[in-house]
Amino acid sequence: MSAKILYGKEFAARIKEEARREADEVKRGKGIAPGLAVIIVGSDPASEVYVRNKQKACDELALYSVKVELPEETSREELIAKIDELNDDEKVHGILVQLPLPRSLAKHEAEVLNRIRPEKDVDGFHPMNVGRLSIGERTLTPCTPTGVIRMLEMANIKIDGAHAVVIGRSNIVGKPMANLLLQKNATVTVCHSHTKNLKEITRTADIIVAAVGHPKFVTADMVKDGATVIDVGINRVMVGGERKLVGDVDFDGASEVAGAITPVPGGVGLLTIAMLMHNTVAAAKMQLGI
């Protein structure tokens, strides 16, 4: 194995420490703790774990946190009303609706996310924040791709001038990732399910970000010698009768050629929650005029 392994834990701890320092400043200056509200509808087991971890992170940083648990049969109107209530709650600076929504509400996802006031949109999914990101304005940006940028910077991996290939074009990961890399002066190629000659493209990348949702999709032969490989994928697979988490990258193979690589689990996943804490504090600072 030749690649340097980029463990998320170390970087996440640094991001959280910074968020804690800033949250303490807000508390000292304004006497208010930055607050996060997480809404979970239904009882998806994976979502419950994510929400629990988000609450735990808030507790760790002594942020104010509210967990709103709504039953599976919640109507669109009830969910919207809850968001409106939190939009008006001065103790809450960040609002997050845990996805996926139950099937009956899935068709209202865009409306639900757009109902969160842009200044409280700590996920960075509101069209206003998406637009601001794309024109290069300072705003709340999606946690996972922003965490990737922070990690690359902290690990001293040069983004400026690098050829970055993002595999995946979702609104949650791929597109904001590409925009953030562009803002940092990378030359960005976005690949997706209709891309031809994917391997030829990825082999020219200095940085590969895999956000595909297919286990072990990026193999060693797709990676240029010494490239940085960031694995955003979280796939649950059965191995020998046991459930295991694997990424979108064939870690064992790719780490033989890459210069640096993130593991799954233990890589990018940890950055997402750290960035959520960062965004909550940033949202509080903006709303309190700091």
Q: Which residues bind ligand NAD (CB under 6 A)?
A: 144, 167-170, 172-174, 191-193, 195, 198, 211-214, 232-235, 268-269, 272
Question: Closest separation between CB of residue 193 and ligand NAD, Å?
Answer: 4
Decide whether 228 or 272 has the Cβ nearer to ligand NAD: 272
Alpha helices, H only, 64-170: 76-87, 103-106, 109-115, 127-134, 143-154
Question: Are 167 and 209 within 8 A, CB to CB?
Answer: yes
**Among residues 179, 184, 174, 230, which one has the least CA distance to residue 206?**
230
Out of 82, 120, 121, 123, the active site residue is: 123
Question: Closest separation between CB of residue 81 and ligand NAD, Å?
Answer: 28
Whether 123 is a known active-site residue: answer yes
Q: Which residue is nearest to ligand NAD (CB)?
A: 170
Whether 183 is a known active-site residue: answer no
Out of 16, 54, 82, 285, the active site residue is: 54
Question: Closest separation between CB of residue 130 and ligand NAD, Å?
Answer: 14
Question: Closest separation between CB of residue 285 and ligand NAD, Å?
Answer: 24
**CA 282 to centroid of chain Cα atoms:** 15
Question: Closest separation between CB of residue 72 and ligand NAD, Å?
Answer: 22
What angle, rounded to 10 degrees, do the helices at 8-30 and 143-154 form? 110
Decide whether 65 or 272 has the Cβ nearer to ligand NAD: 272
Decide whether 32 or 99 has the Cβ nearer to ligand NAD: 99
Decide whether 189 or 195 has the Cβ nearer to ligand NAD: 195
**Among residues 147, 174, 179, 156, which one has the least CA distance to residue 57?**
147
Decide whether 82 or 175 has the Cβ nearer to ligand NAD: 175
Q: Would you call 170 exposed, middle or buried from its count of C-beta atoms within 10 A (0-12, 13-18, 19+)?
A: middle
* Beta carbons within 8 Å of 92's beta carbon, 6+ residues apart: 35, 36, 37, 64, 66, 86, 120
Q: Give ∠ CA 171-175-179 in degrees, rounded to 5.
A: 135
Structure tokens at 182: 């562009």
Instruction: List strands edge to edge, sheet with 260-261.
Output: 4-5, 260-261, 228-231, 207-210, 163-167, 187-191
Structure tokens at 24: 């303490």
Whether 248 is a known active-site residue: answer no
Known catalytic residues are 54, 98, 123
